[in-house]
Amino acid sequence: MKILARKLVSRLSIEDAVTVAFIAALVLMCMVTLLAWYSVTHFIQSTHWVDHTHIVLETVEHAKASSDEALSVAQEFVITGDPTSMAGRDRAITDLQSSLHDLGTLTADNSAQQERLAIVNSHAVARIEFMNAVILARQTGGFEVAQRLIASGQSRGQVNQLRDLLDAMAGEERSLLRQRLLADELSQRRLIGACGALLAVVILIVGLGLFRLRRELHLRQKLADRLERKTIELQTSNKELESFSYSVSHDLRSPLRAIDSFALMLQEDYAAKLDDEGRRYIAVVRDGAQQMGRLIDDLLAFSRLGREPIDALNINPRLGAERAVREVLAAYTGTAPQILVHELPSACGDAVLLHHVWVNLIANAVKYSSKIAAPRIEIGGCIQGSEAVYFVKDNGAGFDMRYADKLFRVFQRLHGANEFPGSGVGLAIVQRVIGRHGGRVWGEGKPDHGAKFFFTLPQAAFV
């Protein structure tokens, strides 16, 4: 369970983890609030019960006092025979009756108390009757008769029984209150415990969330710092590269041009004074200088295409491919191959940079199919998921798939310069430009059965 939870937590993204922790903490806090509300309600109920018990106890005492009062009034009358004391007796009896009625209402929910009260009531009735009999005896028979009736002992026992019964009712109420308070205390303790536990869980969740968040922020800050350092390093090396390629473009090309131009001048002005071997030497010098010039130009293009910022827009690749076809054919001196440009899916990219991709792929296709009888080049594409896939296919010299991974490296060539001329930079340029667009490049081929080069472009903006 614990491992599962940890797995779940570590698999969740930081955004999801924080959301889950926040919702869990919120739900738990709601539960704590509900419990607290429940606890307070319960507490108010308990105080009601305490009040109720006190009222019952008071009423019991009142009943006891009324019954005693009634008895003492009766006794006073027996001794004095004074009829005015009779008013006190009536009041005491009314009080007793009203107290007993109140008790009946107060203990309506308790059947045991109701049974007791029934007995109390019957005793009270009997007692009132007895007192009435005593009073009657005093009035008709005089003090002696009444005295004898009282002495018969009936009265004393009744008084004690009534008191005991009322005490028992009071005792029952007290013990009920005690039980209720005990139960309340227990449930209160449980509630407090539950609230405490929930709060502890909330604190744990919030704490863990905070810890995770802090760690994430720390990590992100570290990453941002690293990125900034790398960016500065990259900018520095880019600047160095820029000044390097500037020197290359100016300082290396100038002496090369001198070599080629003066070799040409030698050829033009002194060809007659040289023999065939001498003239061949000059030709070799010029070939070498020109080859090196092309290498420098291609390398500079490669370097520049890696540094220029990408301006990605929605493009129409078919227009780009057709423009490249026209450009390649204009520079081609051999017999033009058959070139078929299919409908191409639209994509997002930098038209200027992608022009180099089309030109290099199409120029390669034209070059490597130049030695066969019916050269045919096909350009097509389709949508695959979120990418557009394009291809340039020819039926020319092809290549061995064993060396497929070398194709895209700078200066790597699978054919000799005397077989097919080239600097070995074209496909490296293709890969660099497509890589900067977030796409992929790959080639399929078979010796003497043509080659097919693919590249992908994102369909939506990527920068």
Name the segment binding another protein (CB under 8 A); options: 58-66, 168-176, 190-198, 257-265.
257-265
Query: Total binding residues for another protein by CB under 8 A?
Result: 26
Residue 332 near another protein by CB under 8 A: no
What residue type is assigned to position 41 of the chain? T
DSSP alpha helix (H) spans, 308-455: 317-331, 351-368, 426-436
Length of the chain: 463
With a CB cutoff of 8 Å and minimum separation 6, the contacts of 126 are 158
Instruction: Find the binder of another protein among 88, 104, 293, 306 (CB under 8 A).
Output: 293
By C-beta, is 292 or 372 nearer to another protein? 292
CB 310 within 8 A of CB 437: yes
> Do the Cβ atoms of 25 and 217 come closer than 8 Å?
no
Under rule CB under 8 A, residue 260 binds another protein: yes
Using the minimum distance from each CB to another protein, give the nearer residue, 14 or 295: 295
In the complex, the smallest distance separating the C-beta of residue 282 from another protein, rounded to whole angstroms, is 11
Burial of 41 (0-12, 13-18, 19+ CB in 10 A): exposed
From residue 123 to residue 162, the character string flagging contacts with another protein as x (rule: CB under 8 A) and all else as - is ----------------------------------------
Pattern 207-246, binding to another protein, x per CB under 8 A? --------------------------------------xx
Cβ 413 vs Cβ 295: under 8 Å: no
* 262 sits near another protein (criterion: CB under 8 A): yes
Which residues, 420 to 439, sit near another protein by CB under 8 A?
none
Q: Is 281 in the site for another protein (CB under 8 A)?
A: no
Half-sphere exposure of 24 (CA within 13 A, CB side): 18
Interface segment toward another protein; rule CB under 8 A; list 121-129, 142-150, 255-263, 451-459:
255-263
Query: Sign (positive/negative) of CA torsion 238, 239, 240, 241?
Result: positive
CB of 194 or CB of 295, closer to another protein: 295
Phi/psi for 344 (5° steps) reads -120, 140
| Interface with another protein, residue 333, by CB under 8 A | no
Judged by CB under 8 A, does residue 297 bind another protein?
yes
Q: What are phi and psi of 347, to 5 degrees?
A: -155, -175
**Nearby residues of 444 by Cβ (< 8 Å), 6 or more positions away:** 401, 404, 451, 452, 453, 454
Minimum distance of another protein from residue 356's CB (angstroms)? 14
Amino acid at residue number 436? R
403 binds another protein (CB under 8 A): no
Give the interface with another protein as residue ranges (CB under 8 A).
Answer: 245-246, 249-250, 253-254, 256-258, 260-265, 286, 289-290, 292-294, 296-297, 300, 304, 308
